[in-house]
Amino acid sequence: MHGKDVELQGVSMVFGDVVAVAPTDLTIRAGEFFSILGPSGCGKTTILRMISGFLTPSAGRILIGGEDMGDIGPNRRPTALIFQNLALFPLMSVWENIAFGLEARGMPKKARRERAMELIDLVALRGHEEKRTGDLSGGQRQRVAIARALAVEPAVLLLDEPLSALDAKLRQHMRAELKAIQRKTGVTFIYITHDQGEALTMSDRIAVMNKGAVEQVAASDRLYDDPQTPFVATFVGEQNVFAGRVIEAEAGFALLDTPFGPLRGRNRDGLAAGASAVLCVRPERMQLVNGALPDNVISADVERRDLEGPFVNLFLKRNEESIVLHLPNRGAAGRELSGEQQIGFSADDGLVLTSGRLARD
Amino acid sequence: MTELVRSYGRPLTAIFIGLTTLWILGMILVPQLFMAERSFWVEEKPNDISLKIDRAYADLSTMKFDLARAEGPGKDEIAGRIEAKKREIAGLEEQEKQPRKVYTMRNYTRMSALHFQIFLRTIFYAAMVTVLALVVCYPVAYAIAQVATPRRAAFLMLGLIIPYAINELLRVYAWLMILDYQGVLNTMLDWIGVTDLATQQWIPFLQSPGAVFVAMVYAYILFMVFPIYNTLETLDKNQVEAARDLGASTWRIHWRVVIPYAKPGMAVGCIMTFMLSAGSYSVPQIMTRGTSGDWFSQTIYRQFFESNNWNNGAAYAFTLLIVCTLFIFLMMLVFRVGVRDIAR
Amino acid sequence: MTAAADAGTVAVERAPARRWSNQVLNLYLVLFFVYLFAPLLVMSAAAFNSYSYPSVTQWQGFTLKWFVELTRDERLLQGLWNSILIGFGVIAVALPLGLSGAFILTRLQSRWSGILYGVLVSPILTPGIILGIATLIFWRNIGVAGGLFLAMMAQATFIASYSMLMFMARLQRQDRALEEAALDLGASNFMVFRRITIPFLAPTIFTAGVIAFLQSIENYNTTVFAIGGNWTLVTEIGSRFRFGLSPVINVIGVIFVALTVVFAVIYVALKERERRARAALVG
């Protein structure tokens, strides 16, 4: 099996007067584990259905392996889709499900069964091949769906939130398994999810979507540390957001006037003085000031302390604006924290972005 | 339609559309249009044509008279005119044989007083059957759907399905045996001394329209039970319990909770019962044993197969269709239900 | 409210007023079922009376001779054969029509779908005699006279509507993703239909076929107008009432009752088993 690249050129989708997907350009490389991440209703499933051929784009072209898919129906595209509810055929056995795509290609029954058994081994379902899919557990059903999709040797595997029906523990396990299968087969995976944990752990690259538009495409680390827009910054992981106006812009950094006083952060986008902006700082990049003063120092009152386990969420407040810190759990040492505290962060850990819509709005 | 094409492809979709179109046009709409069209014309043998023919024959004999007396070239000319006249007569006679189709409302307006009376009585009795069936069946449907335990409900359903599945004719025939001159009812009355079968002093139940009414209620009552049962079955029992818990009386629970919920089923039941009663040919035919034509369906049948007046029969049938259609709209209005709720 | 009632089981401690009203309801049910079954018993009993006029009150001894007479009745047997022919014809016509209508109605997303639905169920709501008359007049214009074929066409007009409603109920429970998954795996449109849709519909096709056949056999009001000079079992029974009654009709009644009871018991037993299996799964 070899993956192919998928290219969206100005693809858009309009239902009536609702724009589900704004004109989008996107290139997914061959053999890549690519995720599309976004809140529900952001258009990610629409993109998936357009790539698989169940929806025809209102405008634009979709190319797979350089070939225009314009007139090619879903049954002749080199893609396979794993449905959110898996859509296993209830009246067929496990191996018949897996061999269905081969049957459609006219492969004789004996060869079909052999090939199905190989895949059954790949997804570790040996011994279940004659069962009806209704008699399997959630994880096993998941594996049947994967094997069924892989059986047709697709160049591109499309996955529509396939883990959402599983419980948390099984979901963790299936992440690793999916990643391993992708490595082993070299097939291009396009994975749709609203769960950022899934996207960050499995993907080579992630596209973040909001309201029908792709806001950023990047590898996990880049996405987390260098978000392009306030939406991406706040949708992926947690952020402390300080809104304000740029009062001083210099080489690489900018000073913002915020309700907590002037704060300095990276000015990657070169905002000029007077621009309306937000300063984003991750909760785990802030510390309690203890001795040496960092670039930015803020005073706020401790409101609440929540134990997460390995770390502690510390909520502070000043002038109706709240701040959250993730502090490593050091046992008894931090338990008595209260009253006004000095907190600080380095200017390298703050990112100044042009004001825009946040994920929590 | 694009969805159908995507799933099943163009050929299969074309077959689906083709078959449905054939069904709608060839079996539902066009036949009923033909029936309606037929009700709006009569065949007429025009009087003026026979007059013209009479006059032409008179002319012909005059010409023949002239021919006998004429001589020379005038004779050939008259012979020519006679030939022309003969052709004219042949043409007119051909026209007379083919009656003219005249569009008119006469098939409707000429409905005799007797037929009109039969029509009104049929509609009235059908409405009575419907009301009676509704009143009788509501408690039955409620009891099976809401009160009985699942096991018992299955058993009771069996008791409904069996008579429902037995042929309508045989069900009516059973009542014929009960109401017959020496039937079960007269025999029982004989025992208590009301009638005396030995001297043929029986009550002629079968001669009154009441007999048809009784058999009709029996024949169609189950068409009222099933639709109401089907809707009430889906009513959450907790709703009734909750209403009772809040102190509502049995009467109020039914009026405010159960009946509003059962409305679609009641509408369907009423439509079916009325339609079957108003258009029933079997029940009156069996109960009157074909001897009298007191019901509208029988009148229609006679127009077709005894008087051989199809146009009149079509007009009567179309009238019945319109009444039944109006009744459907009336029920949708009374019970406030939509088209989609009907015939579930 | 007691805990038992909350748990959905029959409440033991009920208010006396409620117990009283339930007693009334029970009595009512008993009367209703007596009303339903007593006439059928009367009719069935007369089949075994040797008196030559169908009666239970003038009992002249038990006999089975009317059963024998039925087997010698050529017209009734021919009528039964005609009914069976028409029944199979109706299955062949009504099921494809009903299935097509159901596919279109479940997939059509348009404001016309309501009107289309109304037209397609209208034969159920039209008096049977009118369907017979309309069919008769329509085909007469093409030069086809009343007979078995017209009876079949007239019946299929409304039986197709019943089939359609059954197919629609089934299709509405279908997971659309199954067909998409099959397409996505490379199946042709025809293969999707054959391997996914038809197996899913198979139980309904069977039930709809049986019901269509039974409705056809039983039909009188429509058939009597479209049958012309020919006859079915039921129209023949209908015409017998004109010329003197015979216990042979009662014999047919007994056979109908017996067959119906057997089939109904099987049907309810199957449903009950299904219900219990479901309850066991949930429990």
pLDDT tens across the length of chain A (361 residues): 578 999 999 999 998 888 999 999 999 999 999 999 999 888 999 999 999 988 899 999 999 999 999 888 888 899 999 998 889 998 899 999 999 999 988 899 999 999 999 999 888 889 999 998 888 988 899 899 999 999 989 999 999 998 887 888 888 888 988 999 899 889 999 999 999 989 999 999 999 999 999 999 999 999 999 999 999 999 998 999 999 999 988 878 999 998 888 999 999 988 888 889 999 999 999 988 887 888 889 888 998 888 888 888 999 988 888 899 998 888 776 677 788 888 999 999 999 999 988 887 5
Subunits with 3+ Cβ pairs within 8 Å of A are B, C
Q: Does C80 touch chain A (CB under 8 A)?
A: no
B6 contact residues in A (CB cutoff 8 A): 54, 73-74
**Closest CA of chain C from A308, distance in Å:** 37
| CB within 8 Å: A100 and C200 | no
C221 contact residues in B (CB cutoff 8 A): 279-282, 297
CATH 3.40.190.10 corresponds to the domain C73-247 = no
- Please report the number of interchain residue pairs, chain A to chain C, with beta-carbon separation below 8 angstroms: 65
| CB within 8 Å: C200 and A148 | no
| CB within 8 Å: B182 and C57 | yes
E-assigned strand segments in A16-58 = 18-28, 33-37
Structure token digits, residue A321: 């604006």
Given a contact cutoff of 8 angstroms between Cβ atoms, the answer to whether B232 and B225 are in contact is no
Query: Which chain B residue's Cα is nearest to C177?
Result: B7
Q: Does A100 touch chain C (CB under 8 A)?
A: yes
Q: Which tens digit of pLDDT belongs to each residue from B43-52?
A: 776 667 777 8
**Closest CA of chain B from A57, distance in Å:** 14
Whole-number percent of chain B with pLDDT over 70: 96
Q: What is the DSSP-derived secondary structure letter of residue A55?
A: S
Q: What crossing angle do the helices spanning B168-179 and C16-46 adopt, rounded to 10°? A: 90
CA separation for the pair A272, A249 (Å, rounded): 6
The pLDDT, as a whole number, for residue B126 is 95
Non-local (6+) Cβ contacts of C51 within 8 A are C58, C59, C60, C247
| CB within 8 Å: C126 and B275 | yes
β-sheet bridge partners, residue A280: A241, A351
CA separation for the pair B85, B296 (Å, rounded): 51
Subunits with 3+ Cβ pairs within 8 Å of B are A, C
Find the range with the poorest average confidence among B305-309, C190-194, C212-216, C230-234: B305-309
* Domain spans, chain B: 44-103, 114-343
| CB within 8 Å: C138 and B15 | no
CA separation for the pair C24, C147 (Å, rounded): 51
Q: Does C194 touch chain A (CB under 8 A)?
A: no
Comparing CB atoms, the residue among B20, B163, B300 nearest residue C104 is B20
Comparing CB atoms, the residue among A76, A89, A152 nearest residue C196 is A89
**Closest CA of chain C from B327, distance in Å:** 10
CA separation for the pair A176, A162 (Å, rounded): 14
Structure token digits, residue A144: 């049947």
Query: Residue B84 pLDDT more than 70?
Result: yes
Assembly ipTM: 0.86
**Closest CA of chain A from C217, distance in Å:** 34
Give which of B6, B7, B8, B13 to mutate to test A binding, by max A Cβ within 10 Å.
Answer: B6
**Closest CA of chain C from B273, distance in Å:** 10
Query: Which chain C residue's Cα is nearest to B245?
Result: C1
- Higher pLDDT residue, C145 or B95? C145
3-state class (DSSP) for residue A267 = coil
Q: If we measure between CA atoms, which residue out of B182, B180, B208, B185 comes closest to residue B197?
A: B182
Q: Does A72 touch chain B (CB under 8 A)?
A: no
Q: Does C178 touch chain A (CB under 8 A)?
A: yes
Q: Does A152 touch chain C (CB under 8 A)?
A: yes
* Domain spans, chain C: 73-247
CA separation for the pair A212, B148 (Å, rounded): 54
CA angle A309, A313, A316 (to 5 degrees): 160
Q: Does C199 touch chain A (CB under 8 A)?
A: yes
Q: CA dihedral in degrees (A136, A140, A145, A148; nearest 10)?
A: -90
Query: Residue C17 pLDDT more than 80?
Result: no
CATH number (1.10.3720.10, 2.60.120.10, 1.25.40.10, 3.90.226.10) of B114-343 reads 1.10.3720.10
